[in-house]
């Protein structure tokens, strides 16, 4: 299964009411067909149901539809080895969502509400069977192609036609089952000419408008046979920033791990933050600083990207703007492998979670 859209039947929605200054919550149930029943249907019957679920009604003339005035989150729920379900660090996504909305000058969605709604949301759908089943086979590859629940909270504005900032946003949470993120058969990363974010812009928040350039650059990269595009900084055009939907890490010859330092042009990834902690726990020296293309070409022996969807994904090479390719070898390098084992193992409950990163939604019992 790839990263495809098959929405779960139950969706959460909270609308901001400027009069009462409250968020009015509701559950939107497209249907209540249990997962097993859906799977037992003919393909045609199932398609009718899924098409309906995938088209959720939202205002079609809004700041969102015309000006990409929206923000969103991506987080994952994991079936755990003990038979339970857990969400990985939802409070971190909640804080980033809050910052995104604040950065867009609209009433921000409270952190506690976000976490509570997400937990309840996953539980309600899981009770209808919408949760992948833990498969011990996944452990053999450190969960490289394992399934999980991709949870997508996002914001939509009220109806509007002139350019402006939402005063009555609504927050929706929906989900779909996913597995591997990157397309099979493509290989290596390529530096793109495009600029994702500029100083004083919106690169540090997860607003929808940032992703138009990402979609274009990624398509261009894929058409050239690369699996991912990588951005340089807008000012000097020589320091790495991040990928289209992931942060980037390099391992240098002396085993130091380097990732670009956060600024207003880089999204503060929750996987990035977690990987830095894991690498330090493993005894690695981790530096958050500017790293240039030249330095990578001279000193790097591994490169990997990190993200909720991407997990920890090794890049076999990086090709610069002049077409010069730096090879890191195919598959996981030893450092990426070690970190992947640790991160995915904790997320799927196959190893201990000493930092209590998992929020248990459904308690396991085996």
Which residues contact ligand PMP by CB under 6 A? 74, 242, 245-247, 267, 269-272, 306-308
CB of residue 47 to ligand PMP, shortest distance in Å: 29
Comparing CA positions, the residue from 266, 284, 294 lying closest to residue 210 is 266
Identity of the residue, 13 or 270, whose beta carbon is nearer to ligand PMP in the bound complex:
270
Instruction: Using DSSP, state whether 169 is helix, strand or coil.
Output: coil
Identity of the residue, 272 or 344, whose beta carbon is nearer to ligand PMP in the bound complex:
272
Report the alpha-carbon distance of residue 223 to residue 206 in Å, rounded.
Answer: 26
CB of residue 74 to ligand PMP, shortest distance in Å: 5
Q: Indicate which residue of 76, 124, 206, 344 is catalytic.
A: 206
Q: Which residue is nearest to ligand PMP (CB)?
A: 269
Angle at 59 between CA 53 and CA 64, to 5 degrees: 105
CB of residue 72 to ligand PMP, shortest distance in Å: 9
Report the alpha-carbon distance of residue 195 to residue 200 in Å, rounded.
Answer: 14
Burial status of residue 55 (CB atoms within 10 A of its CB: 0-12, 13-18, 19 or more): exposed
Q: Is 206 a catalytic residue?
A: yes
CB of residue 197 to ligand PMP, shortest distance in Å: 8
Report the alpha-carbon distance of residue 293 to residue 299 in Å, rounded.
Answer: 10
How many C-beta atoms surround the C-beta of residue 52 within 10 A? 13
Identity of the residue, 251 or 266, whose beta carbon is nearer to ligand PMP in the bound complex:
266
Report the alpha-carbon distance of residue 318 to residue 320 in Å, rounded.
Answer: 6
| 358-362/85-88 β-pairing | antiparallel
Identity of the residue, 121 or 231, whose beta carbon is nearer to ligand PMP in the bound complex:
231
Hey, which residues are catalytic here? 206
């Amino acid at each position: 299964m790839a990263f495809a859209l098959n929405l779960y039947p139950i969706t959460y929605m909270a609308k901001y009411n400027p009069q009462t200054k409250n968020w009015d919550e509701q559950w939107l149930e497209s249907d209540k067909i249990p997962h097993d029943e859906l799977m037992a249907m003919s393909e045609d019957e199932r398609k009718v149901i899924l098409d309906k679920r995938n088209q959720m009604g939202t205002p079609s003339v809004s700041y969102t539809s015309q000006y990409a005035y929206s923000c969103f989150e991506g987080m994952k729920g994991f079936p755990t080895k003990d038979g339970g379900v857990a969400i990985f660090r939802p409070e971190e996504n909640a804080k980033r969502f809050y910052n995104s909305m604040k950065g867009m000058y609209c009433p921000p969605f409270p952190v506690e509400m976000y976490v509570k709604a997400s937990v309840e949301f996953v539980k309600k759908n899981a009770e209808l069977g919408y949760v992948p089943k833990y498969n011990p086979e996944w452990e053999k590859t450190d969960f490289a192609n394992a399934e999980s629940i991709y949870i997508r909270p996002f914001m939509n504005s009220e109806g509007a036609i002139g350019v402006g900032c939402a005063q009555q946003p609504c927050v929706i949470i929906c989900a779909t089952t996913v597995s591997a993120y990157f397309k099979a058969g493509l290989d290596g990363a390529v530096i793109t000419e495009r600029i994702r974010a500029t100083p004083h812009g919106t690169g540090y928040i997860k607003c929808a408008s940032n992703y138009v350039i990402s979609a274009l650059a990624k398509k261009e990269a894929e058409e050239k046979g690369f699996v991912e595009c990588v951005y340089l900084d807008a000012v000097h055009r020589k320091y790495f920033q991040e990928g289209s939907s992931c942060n980037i890490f390099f391992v240098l010859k002396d085993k130091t791990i380097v990732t670009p330092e956060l600024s207003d042009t880089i999204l503060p990834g929750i996987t990035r933050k977690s990987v830095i902690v894991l690498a330090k726990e493993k005894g690695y020296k981790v530096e958050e600083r500017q790293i240039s293309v030249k330095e990578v070409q001279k000193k790097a022996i591994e490169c990997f990207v990190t993200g909720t969807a991407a997990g920890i994904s090794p890049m076999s090479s990086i090709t610069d703007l002049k077409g010069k390719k730096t090879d890191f070898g195919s598959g996981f390098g030893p450092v990426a492998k070690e970190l992947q084992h640790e991160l995915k193992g904790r997320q799927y409950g196959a190893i201990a979670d000493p930092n209590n990163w998992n929020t248990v939604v459904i308690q396991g019992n085996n």
